[in-house]
Structures are given as C-alpha cells and as structure tokens.
Amino acid sequence: MNVCVFSSSSNAIPEIYFEEARKLGQLIGASGWNLIYGGANVGLMHTCAEAARENGAKTVGIIPELIHAHRLSNPNDHEQIITPNMRERKYLMRKRSDVFIALPGGFGTLEEILEVITLKQLNYHNKAIVFINTDGYYDMLLLQFDRAYRETFSKENYRSMYHIAANAEEAIDYLRNYVPSEPLAKWFNVPGKETGNMH
C-alpha cells in the first residue's frame, strides 16, 4: 500500500512533532507499506521519510523544481520525481497514493489535506483520510469544521470522510481496518433563501 503523508517542512517546530513523525515512518515501514511524500530534506517530511526507509519502506519523494533548485530535496529516496510546479506535484501524490495522512503542518499541509477531502466529497476518490492530531494541533481546525456542520455549510455526514487519530498507532490501525463506504451524496436539497418582505 502506498501511504501519502502531508506534513511540515519546518525544522523550527517543537520536538514532540518530530517524535510522532518518526513513529509514523517506523510504522509505515514495519507494515510493509511505501511512503509517498513531498520529497524535502527538512522538517517532519524528512524525519518521517528517513524512519520509513530505515524500517523497510520504499520512499517516493515528489518535489517541485523550484524547491529542488534550493537543494531542499531528499537524496536518499528510492524514487525522486521533480515536477514543474505545485499543481503537478499534488496531482502525482494523489495519483500514486492509496491513503492519505496529515501530520501537523502549515498552509501547504492544510491545502493538501483539505483538497483530498474536497475531492472525496465530490466522489473523485474513496480513499482513507486521516489527521494525526499530535498535542491537539488540529483542535482549532476541527472546531471550524464543527461550525461548518452546525451552520449547514457542510453536510453532517461528511464527518465520515476523514478520521481524527490521536497518534501514529491509531492512524495505522484505522488504515488497516478501513473499508470504503458508499459514496456520499454531494448535493443538498437546497431550500429557498429566506429573504423577508421585499419592498
């Protein structure tokens, strides 16, 4: 199985996040799975990839030419793919992967994981999606999701499209037991907008 991991490329974050990224890489390798990731030699990306490789996983780094040109690509990957832009990078990561995991990360990680949720919502795929909520990192994002459900920006049954794991072990257990569900109906039965009295 090819596991896509979206994660931070920062080296300046607290150690607890590196510990979880290392554990995830170890478990991916020990499970006999492969890692698809952003190909960087920094941050949680690099930590997860090195741990996965050291534990037997094939690692595939997919990195844009602009970032590769700054010497930020990991030379240890079994396969390195250099793309012309971010759009192609994300497309290949999705295409090559069977499941998706988000470790903590910044804007890029958020964009990547939210895009795969959106594509699942639209029935472009039915693959497992997991957030690893290390130290409650995603708590505020999940509160935003709750507001979207509460105020009907998103349908309540979209909660089933992704899983929140407290740690790497929970994430791996979820992936091992994942059974694709029936595609969710995308479209609302849209009520008429309440406009009040018009004069």
Beta strands in 18-173 (DSSP E): 34-37, 59-64, 79-83, 99-102, 128-132, 163-165
Q: Is residue 97 part of a domain?
A: yes
pLDDT band (50, 70, 90) for residue 198: very low
Q: Is residue 34 part of a domain?
A: yes
Q: What is the pLDDT of residues 36-62, one digit of tens each?
A: 999 999 999 999 999 999 999 999 999
* pLDDT greater than 70 at residue 168: yes
Q: Is residue 183 part of a domain?
A: no
Neighbouring residues of 126: CB distance < 8 A, sequence distance ≥ 6: 120, 180, 181, 183
How would you classify the pairing of strands 79-83 and 99-102?
A: unpaired
Q: What is the CATH number of the domain that holds 39?
A: 3.40.50.450
Q: Is residue 182 part of a domain?
A: no
Helix (H) or strand (E) holding 113: helix 107-121
* pLDDT greater than 70 at residue 167: yes
Domain of 18 in residue numbering reads as: 2-174
Q: Is residue 112 part of a domain?
A: yes
Cα–Cα distance for residue pair 64/194, rounded to 1 Å: 47
CB 132 within 8 Å of CB 20: yes
Which residues is 179 bridged to in the sheet?
Answer: none
Helix (H) or strand (E) holding 109: helix 107-121
Sheet architecture: strand order including 79-83: 79-83, 59-64, 34-37, 2-6, 99-102, 128-132, 163-165
Q: What is the pLDDT of residues 57-99, one digit of tens each?
A: 999 999 999 999 998 999 999 999 999 999 999 999 999 999 9
Cα–Cα distance for residue pair 151/153, rounded to 1 Å: 6
**Count of domains in the chain?**
1
pTM exceeding the 0.85 threshold for the entire prediction: yes
Q: Which amino acid is at 98?
A: D
Residue 182 is predicted with a pLDDT of: 76
Tokens 């090559």 — which residue? Answer: 96
CB 76 within 8 Å of CB 62: no
Tokens of 36: 């698809």
Q: Is residue 185 part of a domain?
A: no
pLDDT band (50, 70, 90) for residue 181: confident
Residue 97 is predicted with a pLDDT of: 98
Cα–Cα distance for residue pair 196/25, rounded to 1 Å: 56
Q: Is residue 115 part of a domain?
A: yes
- Tell me the average pLDDT of the chain: 93
* pLDDT greater than 50 at residue 199: no
Q: Is residue 184 part of a domain?
A: no
